[in-house]
Amino acid sequence: MGDKAHTHPGAAGRASAADRPTSVRNVVLVGHSGAGKTTLVEALALTAGALNRAGRVEDGGCVSDYDEMEHRQQRSVQLSLVPVEWDGIKVNLLDTPGYADFVGELRAGLRAADAAVFVVSAADGVDGSTRMLWEECAAVGMPRAIVVTHLEAARADFEEMTRICADAFGGDDPDAVLPLYLPLHGPQAPDGHAPVTGLVGLLSRKLFDYASGERVESEPGEDQLPRLDEARALLIEGIISESEDETLMERYLGGEQVDVKTLVEDLERAVARGVFFPVLAAAPAAEGARQGLGTVELLELITRGFPTPLERAAPRVTTPDGAPRELRMCDPDESLVAEVVKTSSDPYVGRISLIRVFSGTLRADQTVHVSGHGLADRGHEDHDVDERIGALSTPFGKQQRPVSHVIAGDLACVAKLSRAETGDTISAKDDPLLMAPWDMPDPLLPLAIQAHSKPDEDKLSQGLARLVAEDPTMRLEQNQDTHQVVLWCLGEAHADVALERLRSRYGVQVDVVPHRVSLRETFGGKAAGRGRHVKQSGGHGQYAICEIEVEPLPGGSGIEFVDKVVGGAVPRQFIPSVEKGVRAQAAKGVAAGHPLIDVRVTLLDGKAHSVDSSDAAFQTAGALALREAAAEAKIHLLEPVAEVSVLVGDDYVGTVMSDLSGRRGKVLGTEQTSGGRTLIRAEVPEMEIERYAVDLRSLSHGTARFDRRYARHEPMPQQVAERLREELRAAS
């Protein structure tokens, strides 16, 4: 940030275990797909000396092939860690997916990081989902910087992109989003585009030319000074306005020259506090070059301007039973508190857990306590177990570099933690603790699956358990009504990745089948039924007769059983047997096989035999009576209705409300919220919103989100019920 020159760090550029929290920076890179996050990470690794010119990972003098295509594909859908070292600081770069379906991986990155770099493409601009991510970081006070990429694109304009970022991210203070450097353009090409070949530092008034593949410092020419000084004055005012020295602005406006050292120190403090958001430019190194444009400047900003783990407010810590616990967080000598931020499987190593240590020191071969609470609704049962830590390592590419310990503030991988899942807390065996899990998006796209063959059926349960353990944004449901296995996902891409992982990692081939919602049945009016179960054979016979009346009740009433037998026509000991038979038949359904609800069943009369009547006989008679009553009555199909809340930008309110109405929805109301958004509340049949997670994203260009919860079952329109019955008949 002080614009000082750098040389290749050589061996110092290779990632190693940090020795103190102040020598660690944890940075998450976020941005939409295609913005260039992964390319930027690789450019930073090349500049820091962790990646050689041939795209190979250097490791202690050994060079291993780096399968770029496979690694890029993997990193496009999941969080990945690339540690590098710069000026004696270990920088953990967390590369996140840009696809909306993998926002769970992105939030894991936010949990593990202490600052964020927003990667914005000059060719594509700032989309709605990137704005929402910015607001998410702002809500937790995370320091942020912006890197503009793809400056080689036609009509790319860094200054215009900076203005767009100020409008999108600056909120009430657009002057808090300003560039630290301006791009230098080389000779104009025949197509009229002048490539960016270097940068000019606004505070240092120095030029940094990358045209040769090395960063070369020089003085600006006279023709460059007016543009430089104009931008420099704006930057100085922006820094001073965020300065903790309240007299500095008054002195500056009075004509006092503020020295560069003071400006840099104020800038670094403002960035670390999350009140100033510098804009930089970056581009990958040309073929054969060692440094990409802007990579040195970004590494300087990260190591000198971003906060250390000591400056982060730690998540709340309790004992497993919920009692609050006070700790000096990020102290290597305190009790151990770490968290599993990602779980993955390796065909040779097995389960690998990426862990952020918040307090204490994690050591190889240490026995620890693993606590997982609060995710039972996602298929993760609460658990408290002791496990032995295996090998500790720090990753890059396909390499795992062994380390002996990991201090508070650092990240590392742990092999073979068989019970630990994403979101679990790792603590000392003799001092078990629990961190509240981070906010997980609710999976709202159902994927019904079944085993492709008998061998797949035998492996399906274990494969699904391992899949869900890796990904807490996925929910596994064993639907007791429809008898379907349902994976709830965040979107189609998320579902596709789940199916591919089942096949390739766990050797389970599954078929996708139509998802069925849990329907119900009820009576459309009063009806009577007589159940007669009389059988005579050798030995004891079976004798039970009962007469019932069934009438519909208001929604939510369930099954109500009333005894109005007089004169002992049905002996008292067999009345509960009739009720048991009625309820058992209601659970099976009386028309289309869906559970019967919201009826009152009244037992009016019956007959018994002194020898042949029994509990089983009257259960059977009760079931027969209910079936006979159903045959005489009109049976309504009931469908589940969900309460839906949609948070959408004001520009898309009309489109979303029209779409909800087309789904047989009832809009209950709207409410203005901050940030130019509207909250729409509606009730919609669940059959109509099975793919709403996908459709809403398309309608709102990825800027809206929704949640849903079951409200009730209500009668299905006759034409819809008939269509459903036709589909069932055609499928059978």
pLDDT digits (tens, 9 = 90+) for 280-305: 999 887 776 778 899 999 999 999 99
Answer yes or no: is 5 within a domain. Answer: no
- Average pLDDT of the chain is 87
Which run of H or E residues covers position 337? strand 337-346
- pLDDT tens, 34-51? 889 999 999 999 999 876
**282 and 391 together in one domain:** no
User: Cα Rg for the chain, rounded, in angstroms?
Assistant: 33
* C-alpha closest to that of 279 among 130, 146, 142: 146
pLDDT greater at residue 331 or residue 212: 331
Is the per-residue pLDDT at 342 higher than 80? yes
**Chain segment 425-444, per-residue pLDDT in tens:** 999 999 999 998 788 889 99
Asked whether residue 60 carries a pLDDT value surpassing 90, the answer given is no
What is the domain range of residue 470? 445-513
Of 411, 428, 413, 425, give the one whose Cα is nearest residue 18.
Answer: 411
Domain limit, last residue, from 456, 490, 513: 513
- 149 and 296 both lie in a single domain: yes
**Among the listed ranges 249-258, 267-276, 372-381, 589-598, which one has the minimum average pLDDT value?**
372-381
Buried b (16+ CB within 10 A) or exposed e, 692-719: bbbebbebbebbbbbebeeeebeebeee
**Beta-carbon count within 10 A of 187 CB:** 7
Average pLDDT over residues 470-499: 92
H-run or E-run covering 705: strand 705-715
Secondary structure of residue 211 in the 3-state scheme = coil
Whether 11 has a pLDDT exceeding 60, the answer reads no
Q: Is residue 323 included in any domain, yes or no?
A: yes
**In 139-205, where do the E strands start and end?**
144-149, 177-179, 181-185, 196-201
Q: What is the pLDDT of residue 383?
A: 87
Closest CA to 149 of 1, 299, 296, 293: 293
**Which CATH number fits the domain that encloses residue 39?**
3.40.50.300
Q: Name 119's bridge partners.
A: 147
Residue spans of beta strands (DSSP E) within 608-702: 635-649, 666-673, 677-685
Q: Is the pLDDT of residue 598 over 90?
A: yes
* 496 and 534 both lie in a single domain: no
Q: Name which of 337, 671, 377, 713 is nearest 557 in CA terms.
A: 713
What mean pLDDT do residues 157-163 have? 93
> DSSP assignment, residue 324?
B
Instruction: Calculate mean pLDDT across residues 483-503.
Output: 93
281 and 382 fall within a common domain: no
Residue 3, pLDDT > 60, answer no
Residue 79 has pLDDT above 60, yes or no: yes
Query: How many structural domains does the chain have?
Result: 5
Query: Minimum mean pLDDT among 322-326, 373-377, 645-649: which range?
Result: 373-377
pLDDT score of 64: 31
The yes-or-no verdict on residue 61 having pLDDT over 70 is no
Domain identity same for 107 and 249: yes
Mean pLDDT score, 674-691? 93
* Percentage of the chain modeled with pLDDT above 90: 60
pLDDT band for 58, please (50, 70, 90 cuts).
Answer: very low
| Strand ranges for 364-422 from DSSP E | 367-372, 383-388, 392-396, 399-403, 405-407, 411-415
Residue 346 has pLDDT above 90, yes or no: no
Question: Are 368 and 411 in the same domain?
Answer: yes
Question: What integer is the mean pLDDT of 379-407?
Answer: 84
At 113, the pLDDT band (50, 70, 90 cuts) reads: very high
pLDDT of residue 315: 80
Sign of CA dihedral 471, 472, 474, 476: positive
Confidence check: pLDDT of 396 > 70:
no
Tens digits of per-residue pLDDT, 86-95? 999 999 999 9
- Pairwise CA distance, residues 514 & 525, whole Å: 32
**Closest by CA position to 131, among listed 271, 31, 37, 281:** 31
pLDDT at 478 over 60: yes
> In the listed set 490, 513, 536, which residue is the last one of a domain according to the structure?
513
Cβ atoms < 10 Å from Cβ of 63: 12
pLDDT (0 to 100) of residue 69: 34
Rounded Cα distance, 389 and 398, in Å: 21
Strand order in the sheet with 392-396: 383-388, 367-372, 425-428, 337-346, 350-359, 411-415, 392-396, 399-403
Identify the pLDDT of residue 54. 43
**Separation between Cα atoms, residue 424 and residue 339, nearest integer Å:** 6
**CATH number, domain containing residue 689:** 3.30.70.240
Q: ∠14-414-419 over CA atoms, to 5°?
A: 165
For residue 192, the one-letter residue type is: G
Report the interhelical angle of 128-139 vs 158-169 (nearest 10°).
50
Joined together, the tokens standing for residue 261 give 């050292």
pLDDT tens profile 687-699: 999 999 999 999 9
pLDDT over threshold 80, residue 18? no
Q: Are residues 260 and 222 in the same domain?
A: yes
Spatial distance between the Cα atoms of 347 and 126, rounded to a whole number of angstroms: 39
Instruction: Give which of 147, 156, 160 is closest to 120, Cα–Cα.
Output: 147
Q: Check residues 9 and 499 and name the one with the higher pLDDT.
A: 499
Q: What is residue 703's predicted lDDT score, i.e. its pLDDT?
A: 86
Q: For residue 600, is it within any domain?
A: yes
The percentage of the chain sitting over the pLDDT mark of 70, rounded to a whole number, equals 91
SS3 call for 302: helix
CATH of the domain at 380: 2.40.30.10
530 and 579 within one domain: yes
Same domain, 395 and 475: no
pLDDT attached to residue 491: 92
The Cα 626–Cα 618 span in angstroms is: 12
Contact 593, 621 (CB under 8 A): no
